[in-house]
């Protein structure tokens, strides 16, 4: 053991060493190299450099400098033996350090730049040591990754490990460890070089896929600065699509891309192809889809996808009325959830029409579709989408309607009772808000379908229109009623009255459509002349 | 039960209580206007007859600055939305916004330079949040190029970039996807073809691989006469319209390729059953829906008309500038007006037979339009323009401007500024695509410097571009 006083001395020494060490840590890499370089040359060389030339040195220093300069091995060879001897003599007298030539003069940028464009030479020594350590880690991880890749290759070929005599197998743990390594490598690469490794290039599951990046041509129009995640996943999508791959990993990839860009029709179509090939249970897909649909209310692709799913799934339940009913119920429940957000969403309504046809949801007793629509019209009697669906539901019912009967032509097969019911329904709704165009259009549509004359509702229409043309007593509570009245008069051949109604529409009750009313008037005149 | 206007006010009071701040100014505006209702008309008429009158602003017809004469008291979600829109629009229509410069007719100026600047940014480099538009870049390009052309900006400077972009998005199997490596789609192909036609020139036309396009279209053709939007995609009226535009502009041979599903089903050619398909999309309301069984929608109406198959009973809906019945007023509807002249042209034709002035006759309209041109111009200039330095056009004052609305609202504006007259060749008036677009000759509400270039009513591209491309491809035998 060292004596006590020595111990104190050692402590002092320690702390001074520590101090030196601290200085070393705050010093930059370049400064440290410069300092080391300075140790290898005489002070007058440094002085000469700093002052900008030999002229600033004293005569003695100039001589010493020239001698020192010439002691470089290459220079010495040019001197005669005698001259060399003389030179060494002088050099010894100036007591210069004999270390020249071992260190090159450092340049500030010789360590390169980091990911932020900063000179690594400007790193503190401590920072630099950390960097070196990370690079070391990365090299180790790469080596381990290579051995994983070899093992995977051997395993795929069924090779035998000669050291154990067993067939190479890749365990779940191996894969887990590799995934962990990739994550660490990605973090290190990002940290050291700013290289981004997305979730696919770091996932060993995707090692066999060579991504196809999007190379935009020079000056491309409407070019988007893609987020890295999106750009990477799209590169992998292009690759797997080109290879016609259908697999669970592709399904996951489409889900990922859809979460970033749900309007990407290509991804949706490819997703459906995967679902077909993998025979994914419909309900799983629907459940996922519901969430996406509620997140992106205006999206179109979601609803086409749902329709494709329906087409794909229906044959499997077609034989069981109960299952069809259950599916119809759950689909409608979701549709209604969508309508709670936007009761006129065109895509959802289109899907509802398709669903109604496909599942045969025509009969109210069985499916309650008509009740559901009535509920929506009760909520907002101006919801034209609901009216439109009702028309479809009532007049396309295959139980009685003529198949493919056009929406604007009479269908003699529709029972009179149904036509009467619909006329009454429309009239009851007109009463709630006579200027609401939807039930008026509906009423007209019903009359046409039922092959009834417009005049059959004249008394009803006249409840909303009185004394047309009489300035004092004219009353119009609905411009749609006035229009309908005009058409009733035209139908009955009462051209003057029809003309008067259109005239009054253009003059007062619906001026914004003056051009249209005038056209009606002229057409009628032209037809009669 | 029936109600009168005074009852209608009662309803507005209900709404008023809900959102007092939004309604107060609009309500006051309505009151003022109603007071001067009768005095206005004559002055406007005399003003319109004599456009040289300048100086102090003339009163605006109350038709454009007040509510319609009949309003139901019943409040529903639809009426609330309509009221809100009305309240945003009325102060602008009344020329009451002191930040906007109005002309003597109370119409704001067209912010032409701002719109051009804005449109150019929409096809420049787009930041990351535009990733949602990654599948519709051809649309962005078409909207901007078409709108720029209508505004009179030079689009030929985009030719080289467009050629590079289009080449990159074209698939070897025919058609254009929304971007590199994306499945070909009729909508994006339509947009890209129109873009190439707008910049024009042989080098742009020659980007299109017409043989591959023909094969691809054949594979999309369905046994029911319609077109799938993409392989495995939906079948709807848009497909019919886009396909017909592409086929006719590029002079694509009509016969079906041997591997077409429609060919297997016995269809004769690419057009077989197309008109029938579109007619099946007509609804009881008279309009056109996206698919058979669905609700009528104004946008789709235009597509159908442009196909030259005006459905029966069409006049019923022809004059209504609403997207869907009872849907809140949207300016997008104005864009569809570009097809409006077609309705007129096709309706007028049968009632005015061609015997009066020889075989080729330009119909001289006695009235100017089915729809209210003044109302449309006022709405677009006042409410449809983003009056801030951003520029661009919007759906309504509460919405942001975007390229889509800029394109279609300007199409609506130019359509309201120009008259389309069908040049009749007996009954082939639409089929042979002979029509003429020229400025209305009556006094204008807007300043002459705010006139846009005319648009082609069927193809929604600047006037003259259709003839150029058709001439080019007609001169090319085969592919």
Reduce the DSSP state of residue B281 to 3 states and report it: coil
Say how far apart CA B229 and CA A293 lie, in whole Å: 21
Q: Which two tokens stand for residue A65?
A: 């400098």
The residue of chain A nearest to residue B4, with distances taken between CA atoms, is A477
Nearest Cα residue to B377 out of B140, B115, B102: B102
- The continuous run of DSSP H or E covering A166 comes out as strand A166-167
Q: What is the dihedral of CA A12, A13, A14, A15, to 10 degrees?
A: 50
Q: Are residues B138 and B37 in the same domain?
A: no
Reduce the DSSP state of residue B102 to 3 states and report it: strand
Which among B325, B341, B376 is the top mutation candidate for probing chain A, defined by the most A β-carbons within 10 Å of its own β-carbon? B325
- Do residue A511 and residue B63 have CB atoms under 8 angstroms apart? yes
Q: Are residues B29 and B159 in the same domain?
A: no
Sign of CA dihedral A289, A290, A295, A299: positive
Residue B83 included in any domain: yes
Which among B6, B181, B320 is the top mutation candidate for probing chain A, defined by the most A β-carbons within 10 Å of its own β-carbon? B181
Lowest-pLDDT choice from A91-105, A151-165, B156-170, B311-325 = B311-325
Enumerate residues 51 to 80 of chain B having a beta carbon within 8 A of any beta carbon in chain A.
Answer: 63, 68-74, 76-79
Q: What is the pLDDT of residues B1-32, one digit of tens each?
A: 444 444 344 444 333 333 333 333 433 343 34
B170 has which bridge partners? Answer: B176
Using a CB-CB cut-off of 8 Å, the residues of chain B touching A350 are 290-291, 294
- Do residue B181 and residue A234 have CB atoms under 8 angstroms apart? yes
CB proximity B122 to A under 8 Å: yes
- Do residue A385 and residue B295 have CB atoms under 8 angstroms apart? yes
CA angle A312, A318, A324 (to 5 degrees): 100
Q: Alpha helices of A342-413 — where are they, by DSSP H?
A: 346-359, 364-367, 369-379, 384-395
Secondary structure (DSSP) of A182-218:
HHHHHHHHHHHH-----TTTT-GGGTT-------PPT
- Do residue B372 and residue A227 have CB atoms under 8 angstroms apart? no
Burial class (CB in 10 A: 0-12, 13-18, 19+), A319: exposed
Say how far apart CA B183 and CA B174 lie, in whole Å: 10
Q: What is the pLDDT of residues B331-376, one digit of tens each?
A: 334 444 444 444 444 444 333 333 333 333 334 443 446 778 888 8
Q: Are residues B339 and B460 in the same domain?
A: yes
pTM: 0.79
Residue B235: phi and psi, rounded to 5, are -110, 120
Using a CB-CB cut-off of 8 Å, the residues of chain A touching B371 are 513, 515-516
Asked if residue B416 lies in contact with residue B337, where contact means CB atoms within 8 angstroms, the answer is yes
Domains: count for chain B: 2
The residue of chain B nearest to residue A392, with distances taken between CA atoms, is B293
Strands B435-439 and B418-422: antiparallel
Size of the A and B interface in Cβ pairs below 8 Å: 261
Residue B336 included in any domain: yes
A224 has which bridge partners? Answer: B126
Which among B81, B134, B352 is the top mutation candidate for probing chain A, defined by the most A β-carbons within 10 Å of its own β-carbon? B134
Using a CB-CB cut-off of 8 Å, the residues of chain A touching B177 are 266
Q: Are residues B125 and B274 in the same domain?
A: yes
Q: Are residues B88 and B141 in the same domain?
A: no
B255 has which bridge partners? Answer: B269
Given B93, B124, B158, the domain boundary residue is B93
- Do residue A343 and residue B77 have CB atoms under 8 angstroms apart? yes
Residue B170 included in any domain: yes
Say how far apart CA B421 and CA B423 lie, in whole Å: 6
Reduce the DSSP state of residue B288 to 3 states and report it: strand
Integer Rg of chain B from CA = 23
Distances (CA, A) of A436 to A432, A489, B90: 9, 22, 21
Using a CB-CB cut-off of 8 Å, the residues of chain A touching B81 are none
Q: What is the pLDDT of residues B445-471, one digit of tens each?
A: 999 999 999 998 888 999 989 989 999
Residue spans per domain, chain A: 4-111, 125-205, 474-529
Residue B105 included in any domain: no
Number of helices and strands in chain A (H, E) = 24, 4
Number of helices and strands in chain B (H, E) = 20, 2
CB proximity B297 to A under 8 Å: yes
Q: What is the dihedral of CA B117, B123, B128, B134, to 10 degrees?
A: 150
Say how far apart CA B472 and CA B250 lie, in whole Å: 9
Enumerate residues 256 to 295 of chain B having a beta carbon within 8 A of any beta carbon in chain A.
Answer: 279-280, 282-286, 289-291, 293-295
Using a CB-CB cut-off of 8 Å, the residues of chain A touching B72 are 432-436
Closest approach of A284 to chain B, Cα-based (Å): 22
Q: Are residues B173 and B26 in the same domain?
A: no
Q: Are residues B260 and B338 in the same domain?
A: yes
Which among A447, A516, A525 is the top mutation candidate for probing chain B, defined by the most B β-carbons within 10 Å of its own β-carbon? A516
Nearest Cα residue to B115 out of B452, B345, B477, B465: B452
Residue B99 included in any domain: no
| Mean pLDDT along residues B64-92 | 90
- ipTM for the assembly: 0.79
Q: Are residues B53 and B169 in the same domain?
A: no
Q: Which residues contact B478 (CB under 8 A, 6 or more apart)?
A: B253
Q: Are residues B69 and B155 in the same domain?
A: no
Secondary structure (DSSP) of B192-247:
HHHHHHHH-SHHHHTTS-HHHHHHHHHHHB-TTS-BBSSTT--B-HHHHHHHHHHH
Using CB atoms, pick whichever of B183, B293, B324 lies closest to residue A353. Answer: B293
Say how far apart CA B63 and CA B375 lie, in whole Å: 8
The residue of chain B nearest to residue A352, with distances taken between CA atoms, is B294
Query: For residue B396, what are the domain limits?
Result: 112-474
Strands A465-466 and A166-167: unpaired
Residue A223: phi and psi, rounded to 5, are -75, 135
**Both ends of chain B: CA-CA distance in Å?**
66
Q: Are residues B241 and B384 in the same domain?
A: yes
Please report, in tens digits, the pLDDT of each residue of chain A (529 residues total).
444 444 444 444 555 555 556 666 678 999 988 888 887 777 777 777 777 777 777 887 787 777 777 766 666 777 788 888 887 787 777 665 555 556 778 898 899 888 888 899 999 989 999 999 999 999 999 999 999 988 888 998 889 988 888 899 989 999 899 989 988 998 998 889 888 888 898 888 999 999 999 888 989 999 999 999 999 999 999 999 999 999 999 999 999 999 999 999 999 999 999 999 999 999 899 999 999 999 999 899 999 999 999 999 999 999 999 999 999 999 999 999 999 999 999 999 999 999 999 999 999 999 999 999 999 999 999 999 999 999 999 999 999 999 989 999 999 999 999 999 999 999 999 999 999 999 999 999 999 999 999 999 999 999 999 999 998 999 999 999 999 999 999 999 999 999 999 999 999 999 988 988 998 999 899 887 7
């Amino acid at each position: 053991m060292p004596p006590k006083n020595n111990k104190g001395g050692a402590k002092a020494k320690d702390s001074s060493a520590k101090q030196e060490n601290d200085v070393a840590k705050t010093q930059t890499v370049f400064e440290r190299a410069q300092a080391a370089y300075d140790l290898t040359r005489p002070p007058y060389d440094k002085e000469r450099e700093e002052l900008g030339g030999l002229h600033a040195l004293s005569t003695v220093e100039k001589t010493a400098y020239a001698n020192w300069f010439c002691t470089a091995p290459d220079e010495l060879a040019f001197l005669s033996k005698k001259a060399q001897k003389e030179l060494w003599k002088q050099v010894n007298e100036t007591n210069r350090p004999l270390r020249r030539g071992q260190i090159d003069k450092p340049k500030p940028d010789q360590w390169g730049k980091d990911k932020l464009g900063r000179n690594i030479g400007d790193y503190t020594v401590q920072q630099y040591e950390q960097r070196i350590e990370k690079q070391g880690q990365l090299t180790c991880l790469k080596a381990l990754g290579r051995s994983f890749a070899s093992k995977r290759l051997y395993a795929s070929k069924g090779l035998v490990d000669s050291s154990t005599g067993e067939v190479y197998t890749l365990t779940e743990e191996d894969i887990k460890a590799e995934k962990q390594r990739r994550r660490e490598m990605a973090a290190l690469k990002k940290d050291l070089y700013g290289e981004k490794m997305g979730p696919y290039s770091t996932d060993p599951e995707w090692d066999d896929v060579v991504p196809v990046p999007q190379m935009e041509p020079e000056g491309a129009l409407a070019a988007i600065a893609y987020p890295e995640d999106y750009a990477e996943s799209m590169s992998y999508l292009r690759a797997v699509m080109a290879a016609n791959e259908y697999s669970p990993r592709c399904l996951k990839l489409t889900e990922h891309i859809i979460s970033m860009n749900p309007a990407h029709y290509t991804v949706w179509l490819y997703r459906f192809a995967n679902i077909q090939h993998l025979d994914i249970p419909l309900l799983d897909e629907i459940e996922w889809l519901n969430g996406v649909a509620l997140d992106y209310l205006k999206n179109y692709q979601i609803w086409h996808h749902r329709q494709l799913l329906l087409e794909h799934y229906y044959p499997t339940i077609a034989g069981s009325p109960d299952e069809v009913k259950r599916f119809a119920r759950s689909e409608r429940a979701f549709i209604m959830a969508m309508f709670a957000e936007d009761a006129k969403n065109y895509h959802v309504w289109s899907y509802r029409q398709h669903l109604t046809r496909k599942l045969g949801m025509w009969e109210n007793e069985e499916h309650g579709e008509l009740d559901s629509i009535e509920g929506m019209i009760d909520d907002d009697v101006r919801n034209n989408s609901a009216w439109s669906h009702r028309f479809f539901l009532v007049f396309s019912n295959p139980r009685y309607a003529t198949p493919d009967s056009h929406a604007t032509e009479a269908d003699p097969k529709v029972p009179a009772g149904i036509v009467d019911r619909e006329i009454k329904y429309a009239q009851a709704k007109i009463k709630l808000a006579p200027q609401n165009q939807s039930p008026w259009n509906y009423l007209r549509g019903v009359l046409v379908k039922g092959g009834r004359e417009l005049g059959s509702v004249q008394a009803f229409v006249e409840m909303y229109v009185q004394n047309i043309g009489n300035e004092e007593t004219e009353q119009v509570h609905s411009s749609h009623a006035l229009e309908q009245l005009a058409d009733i008069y035209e139908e009955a051949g009462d051209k003057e009255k029809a003309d008067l109604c259109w005239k009054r529409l253009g003059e007062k009750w619906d001026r914004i459509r003056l051009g249209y009313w005038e056209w009606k008037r002229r057409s009628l005149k032209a037809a009669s002349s | 039960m029936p109600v009168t206007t005074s009852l209608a006010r009662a309803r507005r009071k209900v709404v008023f209580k809900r959102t007092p701040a939004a309604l107060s100014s609009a309500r006051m505006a309505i009151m003022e206007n109603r007071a001067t209702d009768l005095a206005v008309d004559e002055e406007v008429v005399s003003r319109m007859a004599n456009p040289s009158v300048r100086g102090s602003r003339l009163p605006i017809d109350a038709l454009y600055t007040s509510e319609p004469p009949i309003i139901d008291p019943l409040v529903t979600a639809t009426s609330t939305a309509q009221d809100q829109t009305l309240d945003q629009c009325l102060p602008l229509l009344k020329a009451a916004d002191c930040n906007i410069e109005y002309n003597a007719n109370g119409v704001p100026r067209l912010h032409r330079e701002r719109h051009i600047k804005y449109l150019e940014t929409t096809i420049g480099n787009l930041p990351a949040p535009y990733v949602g538009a990654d599948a519709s870049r051809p649309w962005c390009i078409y909207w901007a190029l078409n709108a720029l052309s209508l505004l009179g900006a030079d689009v030929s400077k985009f030719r080289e970039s467009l050629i590079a972009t289009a080449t990159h998005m074209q698939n070897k199997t025919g058609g254009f996807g929304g971007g590199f490596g994306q499945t070909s789609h009729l909508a994006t192909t339509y947009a890209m073809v129109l873009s190439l036609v707008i910049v024009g020139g042989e080098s742009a036309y020659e980007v299109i691989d017409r043989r591959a396009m023909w094969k691809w279209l054949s594979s999309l053709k369905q046994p029911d006469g319609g077109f799938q939007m993409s392989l495995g995609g939906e079948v709807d009226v848009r497909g019919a319209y886009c396909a017909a535009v592409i086929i006719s502009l590029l002079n694509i041979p009509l016969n079906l390729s041997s591997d077409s599903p429609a060919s297997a089903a016995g269809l004769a050619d690419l057009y077989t059953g197309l008109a029938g398909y579109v007619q099946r999309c007509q609804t009881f309301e008279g309009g056109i829906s996206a698919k058979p069984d669905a609700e009528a929608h104004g946008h789709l109406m235009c597509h159908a008309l442009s196909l030259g198959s005006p459905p029966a009973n069409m006049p019923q809906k022809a004059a209504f500038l609403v997207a869907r019945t009872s849907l809140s007023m949207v300016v997008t509807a104005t864009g569809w007006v570009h097809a409006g002249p077609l309705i007129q042209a096709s309706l007028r034709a049968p009632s005015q037979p061609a015997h009066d002035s020889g075989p080729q006759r330009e119909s001289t309209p006695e009235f100017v339009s089915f729809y209210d041109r003044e109302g449309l111009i006022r709405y677009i200039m006042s409410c449809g323009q983003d009056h801030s330095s951003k520029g661009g056009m919007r759906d309504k004052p509460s919405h942001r401007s975007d390229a889509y609305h800029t394109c279609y609202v300007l199409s609506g504006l130019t359509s309201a500024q120009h008259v389309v007259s069908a040049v009749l060749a007996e009954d082939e008036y639409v089929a042979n695509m002979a029509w003429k677009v020229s400025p209305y000759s009556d006094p204008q509400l807007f300043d002459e410097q705010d006139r846009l270039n005319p648009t082609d009513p069927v193809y929604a591209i600047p006037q003259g571009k259709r003839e150029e491309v058709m001439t080019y491809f007609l001169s090319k035998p085969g592919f």
